[in-house]
Every structure is written in structure tokens, then in C-alpha cells.
Amino acid sequence: MTMLEARGIQKAFNNGKKDIPVLKGIDLKIEKGSFIVITGPSGAGKSTLLHILGGLDAPSAGEVRFTGQSLYALNDALLSRMRNQSIGFIFQFYHLLGEFNVLENVLMPALIKSSGRAQRKQSREKACALLLKVGLGERLDHYPSQLSGGERQRVAIVRALINSPQILFCDEPTGNLDSATGSEIFDLIRKINLDDKMTVVVVTHNTELVKGAGRVYHLKDGVLVN
Ligand code: ADP
């Protein structure tokens, strides 16, 4: 089953004087349960592409279909709901909220999804179980500033999974970590793909890390090479 399909994706940014093309016509089909890696040098447009695929930023031209639905044809409310309930994202700099503890950070998307008491309880139990699974069972009431980079990224991964998304996008997930910790985080993402059949898309400039993992594409000069 095709989970996500991008057709003719173009993106240009205006620098005040003229449009600078970054993506020049990207076609990509992502099957359910697959592990897709997109590499390319810094500035190639990897994050731009990932944001477009994940419903965070509309393309200048082209279409993204997610489970058959054209993402950017949705109104804001429906697109927000799609992002909250069906799409998980993790970022290079974790984007945790510093004034909330680990458990609260993880529960944020669940809180946005539902205000029902029973569901909140369920989410809390799921959060605790997932945090335990990634080795943070003793850290529920710690704040992000009290955690290492690798621990922060684990929290971000659990937060991305809390609403049981259908796809997980990872934007340079190891870019801020030393190589040993980066490998651990990459292995964890790979394990989520293999164990839970989670569809995963990773963009990274670290080609060493992704050797032998999944299907690798290279983004260069605005086009994707298989
Ligand atoms: P990568 O993730 O491969 O390092 P990016 O997608 O972050 O590359 O950026 C690709 C190009 O698009 C860069 O030249 C960057 O400066 C430009 N760019 C990205 N986002 C914006 C933006 N919001 N406004 C203007 N230019 C941008």
C-alpha cells in the first residue's frame, strides 16, 4: 500500500529580489512500512523536502498525497489534525519545551488531540510505557535541561509516537549528537520501523550512519536520484 506519494514537487524561496529554486520537480512514492533515507549535502533542500512531505510547508508546485488525501488541499484545521494524529516528526534540535518535564512534553500532542478523561489516562499509561522502553523510565519528572542530547532525542521520539502516527519523519535526527549516541538513536529509529512496521523517512547528510539501511535517495541540484 502506498502511504505517501509526492508528484512534481517544486519549491522556490524569494530572497527579496528573485525566486531561488531549491526543489525542481521531485517525485517520490513511499510504501507502508518502508524505511526511506534521503541524503545530500547541507543546503541541498533536504529539510525543505521533508517539511513539504510532512504537511509543514506547502510546495510552490506539485502535490503530496498522504493515504490518498491531497495534503495541501485540506483546510488549516484538517491539516493540523492530520499532523497531530497521523504524522510524527523529530528534529535535529529536539524542540522540547523547556518549562515542561519529560512526561508533559511527551503528552503534549495527546492533550491537543483529546480532552476526554479516559483517553488522557490511556495516553499517560502509553507515555510511561514508551519512556520505559527507551530507557527513560526514571526520568519522567526531569526537565529537558537536565538531560543529555541523546536522552532529549529519545523524549522527542516518544512524543512523536504518542498519538500512534502512520508515518515518522526524522529531520537530521543525529545531527547534534556525538557519533556513538547518534548510532544509538539511529538504531532506535530503525527498530521502531522493523518492530512496529512504522513507515519512516529520514533526511541526513551523514551517509556513514545510514549504510545498509532501507532505501537511500540522494538529493542534488534540486532533484532526487535513486
Ligand atoms: P538542507 O536541509 O539540505 O541542509 P534546507 O532545506 O534547509 O537544506 O535549505 C535549502 C535551501 O533553501 C538553502 O539554500 C536555504 O537557505 C534555503 N531556505 C530554506 N528555508 C528557507 C526559507 N524559509 N526562506 C528562504 N530560504 C530558505
Task: Write down the pLDDT at residue 214.
Answer: 84
Question: Integer distance in angstroms from the first to the last C-alpha of the chain?
Answer: 20
Mean pLDDT, range 7-16, rounded to an integer: 95
- Cβ–Cβ under 8 Å, residues 6 and 52: yes
Residues 177/94, Cβ–Cβ less than 8 Å: no
Distance in Å, CA 58 to ligand 1 centroid: 14
Mean pLDDT of 48-67: 97
**In the beta sheet, which residues pair with residue 63?**
7
Mutate to test the pocket of ligand 1, among 26, 48, 203 (most ligand atoms within 8 A of CB): 48
Three-state SS at 6:
strand
Angstrom distance (rounded) from CA 25 to CA 42: 19
Provide the pLDDT for residue 116: 86
What residue owns the CA closest to ligand 1's atom 15? 43
Q: Is the pLDDT of residue 210 over 90?
A: no
Percent of the chain with pLDDT over 70: 100
Kindly indicate the confidence band of residue 207, based on its pLDDT and cuts at 50, 70 and 90: confident
Protein residue closest via CA to atom 13 of ligand 1:
43
143-188 confidence digits (pLDDT tens): 999 999 999 999 999 999 999 999 999 999 999 999 999 999 999 9
Distance CA 123, CA 149 (A): 25
Residues with CB under 6 A from ligand 1: 13, 22, 40, 42-48
Three-class secondary structure of residue 103 per DSSP: helix
Quick: pLDDT tens for 62-78: 999 999 999 999 999 99
- Alpha carbon separation from 13 to 64, 149, 182, 209 (Å, rounded): 19, 31, 31, 30
State the chain's mean pLDDT as an integer: 95
Tell me what pLDDT residue 194 has.
95
pLDDT of res. 28? 97
More confidently predicted of 53 and 120: 53
The answer to whether residues 140 and 131 touch, using CB atoms and an 8 Å cutoff, is yes
Q: What is the pLDDT of residues 131-141, one digit of tens each?
A: 999 999 999 99
Q: Which CATH class is domain 2-225?
A: alpha beta
| Averaged pLDDT, 21-42 | 96
Domain ranges of the chain: 2-225
What local confidence, expressed as pLDDT, does residue 196 receive? 95
pLDDT exceeds cutoff 90 at 130: yes
Q: Are 96 and 155 in contact (CB under 8 A)?
A: yes
Over residues 47-55, mean pLDDT: 98
